[in-house]
Amino acid sequence: MTKNVSVQDSSAAAALQTFTGGKGDVLLDYESDALAAQKAGEAIQLVYPKQTLLIETPIAVTAKSKHAQQAKAFVNWQWSTDGQTIWAQKGYRPVLKSVATQFASKFPTPPDLFTIDYLGGWSKVKDEFFAPSTGSITKIEQAAGVPTAS
């Protein structure tokens, strides 16, 4: 299953660096990473598959925040038109429809863009794919010789 994987980097950022350094033919990565690489002048071709998962980047205030009021204000600002506009300018797909419309050419919508709910939600995905001893991704990683938590 992993015979064509030449490098198993520890993160998406490291994988992108390896790829733009000339190792590998294809890289499966985050849209924001690919857009940042293009903006930095890397000669990569960004291909959107017909079916793909919408990455919904979470933001939260920690329960033990020493600056909870300011953190909550920042979270609220992130969901504002101004916050989402900056988010989009930096290469992240905006979630506010009014902002998304302005950046539609930068963020094309694949025909079958779905969320984690389509796959049964995070609890199901976590168990099915990433469980320490039975997850399908865990087994693939182990077969490739990558250490996994047990």
Confidence of residue 148 (pLDDT cuts 50, 70, 90): confident
The residue range of the domain holding 23 is 10-47
Is residue 135 domain-resident? Answer: yes
Note the pLDDT tens digit of each residue in 110-128. 999 999 999 999 999 999 9
Mean pLDDT across the stretch 8-18?
88
**How much is the pLDDT for 102?**
96
Dump pLDDT digits (tens) for 25-82: 899 999 999 999 999 999 999 999 999 998 887 889 999 999 999 999 999 999 999 9
Distance, CA of 118 to CA of 123 (rounded, Å):
12
| 1 domain residue, yes or no | no
Q: With contact defined as beta carbons under 8 Å apart, do 83 and 77 qualify?
A: yes
Tally DSSP H helices, then E strands, for the chain. Answer: 7, 2
73, 105: one domain: yes
Q: Quick count: other Cβ atoms within 10 Å of Cβ 96?
A: 16
In a 3-state reduction of DSSP, which class is residue 6?
coil
Q: Is the pLDDT higher at 147 or at 132?
A: 132
- Beta-carbon contacts of 125 under 8 Å, excluding residues fewer than 6 positions away, are 116, 119
- Res 1: pLDDT: 56
Residue 108 domain flag: yes
Give the separation between CA 95 and CA 84, rounded to whole angstroms.
Answer: 7
Together in a domain, 57 and 75: yes
Q: What is the dihedral of CA 108, 114, 115, 120, to 10 degrees?
A: -170
| Number of compact structural domains in the chain | 3
pLDDT value at residue 144: 78
